Structure 1
Amino acid sequence: MPEATERPYILHMLTATPQMSPFDVNMAADAGYQVIVPYCNVGSEHVVTLTQDAIFSRGPKGVSRTGIFIGGRDVMLAADMLDTARHAMVPPFEVSVFADPSGSYTTAAALVALVEKHLKGGHNADLGGKRVLILGGTGAVGRVAAAMAASLGAQVLIASHSDIARATQVSDEVNRRFDIATTGVSVRTSDDLHHALSTAEVVMATAVAGVQVMSAADLSHARHLLIAADVNAVPPEGIAGVHVMDDGKPLAGAVRQDALGIGALAIGNVKYQVEHRLFVRMRTGGKPVYLGFPEAFDEARAIVGVSGGGLG
């Protein structure tokens, strides 16, 4: 039997947090990895050593059956760790690497791809030039969704329920890291939120589970709203009127009768497919790949049937 068929598929899973996500472990196993090893409390300074330990121990044939996954909660750190791992490779000793901290890359990819789909299908419009408000935008999914939407030419507001300083800090970090332009806004008070909603054409709710960030009363202030998308699957709804199964359903209570809602399970279904496909791609592609949020977004677009230029 050829040597390559005898060697198991091994996935080394790195996270800066105390635990690796059980969700990601399950996804890796379902994608065909046979040996899955988590490494916790991994700092960026450890990535080179861990990567080179993984690539040099199996030979050029063995590396094709070896992969590295980068998790954690910090989207900036994960992006940096992906770059560090890539530069640590010594061809032909090179393995595939996939980053998806807190599921934020794949979730944001699904979220933005579905927004694109329903803007096109429901309004014959693109994201470019649209006014996008991201509620709970300082979290992991919000940051990545902001980067994706802004890269497509949207005018993105990253909203914080704490204060303007927090929103501005995150906006500045995202702008520097991904070479985009977003703006931080505070929605700490109802007046702040209503002001932000008054011009928004797309609202994405990416706040923590179980928190409503936009009530039915708030909805009446969103006079230009075309799409409302919510990643929260835990009651109450993150956006009033957007139910978890909605996939481009008319949004009850909206000022515009053609406003559409996208719910958490519709987004989650696409997110699951994206993560599974990327795990399979890194295991079966035959050559090393490096998978971050641009690749996740491309996959999500393919799944929902949206075409367009890549992220800038």
Structure 2
Amino acid sequence: MSAPYVLHMITPLANVSPFDVNMAVDAGIDTVIPYTGIETAQVEALTQDAMFSRDPRNAVRTGLFIGGRDAAMALDMLEAARKAMFPPFRISVFADPSGAFTTAAAMVAVVERALRRSGLDGLTGLAVQIYGATGVVGGIAGLIAAQAGGNVTLVSHRGVPAVQGKAEEFGRRYGVALSCADTSAAGKAELMERAEVVLACGKAGVTVLTADDLRAAKRLRVAADINAVPPAGVEGVGVQDDGAPLPAQPVAVGIGALAIGNVKFKVQHRLLEQMQTGGSAVAFDFQNAMDAARAIAGKAS
């Protein structure tokens, strides 16, 4: 008889995310245990403690969810957990700090869908600008967009140094080239002239791109916004928009937070379900989230 599924949720923060707890329970996981204030150096011991407490047949009935707000740290924790395991004691691991991996994947997948609807080959060769790139969602969205073939610029409102380290880190880890820029008055206008896709990942309730900014973006094809709190992160984009025409734009469309969120919820739910029902141990990061997001967004085309 299979043992009950147990999900150990770890975070370097003072609390695990209630959002992630709810998602796990709604995915059918009844036993969810939080661990807070966890450092990367502790992950090996925690992983082995979890996997050795069950016979090999039931080790797979154990999962580790990695939260927090730092993408690089979450990826390091994921790698530490993977290195701590060996046959036949393997458990599943899923990293999704602040929901950034699933949110960014959903955002890019929905944008790709909108571009395909207009006859383009996804993000390939397009100038993609990430606003709010200092945050964890923005950084990962930029990384995924670059892996998808976009020419990505991480845009900061606090100067280039605020995103330069992130660009260099992702370049070292994944071999992508990410440009960096800031939103000084002159710089923003120049950026808008080149923009073909903009992803707004800024703080909730803050408008990062105004109608005037968008009017300067003559080459714009898609503007996506993850902000569901008024005012919109991109002026003129409604939270439910899923390819709605943008005002004063000849071909550009808008993607709102709920269109992105609908895919994000399904991605996280699917991966949590796969942890407990797949029959073998899995390790999920942003790339697995992107695979799931593309499959889910494609079904809604």
- Tell me which interval the TM-score lies in, with the shorter structure as reference length: over 0.9
Letter in 2 for 1:10: V
Letter in 2 for 1:244: V
Shift of 1:34: 1.4
The SS at the match of 2:34 is: strand
Structure 1: distance between partners of 2:122 and 2:170:
22
Letter in 1 for 2:258: L
Structure 2: distance between partners of 1:102 and 1:203:
21
Q: Which residue of 2 aligns with 1:94?
A: 90
The SS at the match of 1:81 is: helix
Q: Which residue of 2 aligns with 1:283?
A: 276
Q: CA RMSD in A?
A: 1.1
The SS at the match of 1:298 is: helix
Q: Which residue of 2 aligns with 1:36?
A: 32
Gaps of 5+ in 1: 307-312
Structure 1: distance between partners of 2:195 and 2:163:
17
Q: Which residue of 2 aligns with 1:119?
A: 115
The SS at the match of 1:249 is: strand
Contact 1:14–1:70 (Cα < 8 Å) also in 2: yes
Structure 1: distance between partners of 2:99 and 2:281:
21
Structure 2: distance between partners of 1:168 and 1:90:
37
Contact 1:167–1:186 (Cα < 8 Å) also in 2: no
Letter in 1 for 2:169: E
Give the 5 Å matches for 1:1-312. 2=1, 4=2, 7-187=3-183, 189-254=184-249, 257-305=250-298
Letter in 1 for 2:135: G
Shift of 1:204: 0.3
The SS at the match of 1:271 is: helix
Structure 1: distance between partners of 2:239 and 2:87:
46
Contact 1:241–1:253 (Cα < 8 Å) also in 2: no
Structure 2: distance between partners of 1:107 and 1:23:
13
Instruction: Tell me which moved more, 106-115 or 171-180.
Output: 171-180
| CA offset digits 1:118-140 (Å, max 9, x no partner) | 11112433211100000011211
TM-score, normalised on structure 1?
0.94
Structure 1: distance between partners of 2:29 and 2:57:
16
Structure 2: distance between partners of 1:152 and 1:124:
13
The SS at the match of 1:69 is: strand
Gaps of 5+ in 2: none
Structure 1: distance between partners of 2:164 and 2:191:
15
Letter in 2 for 1:203: V
Contact 1:244–1:266 (Cα < 8 Å) also in 2: yes
Shift of 1:60: 1.1
Structure 2: distance between partners of 1:170 and 1:100:
17
Structure 1: distance between partners of 2:77 and 2:6:
19
Q: Percent identity?
A: 49
The SS at the match of 1:213 is: coil
The SS at the match of 1:50 is: helix
Shift of 1:190: 2.6
Shift of 1:168: 1.9
Shift of 1:271: 0.2
Shift of 1:35: 1.0
| CA offset digits 1:187-235 (Å, max 9, x no partner) | 1x23221111110100000011111000111111111000000000001
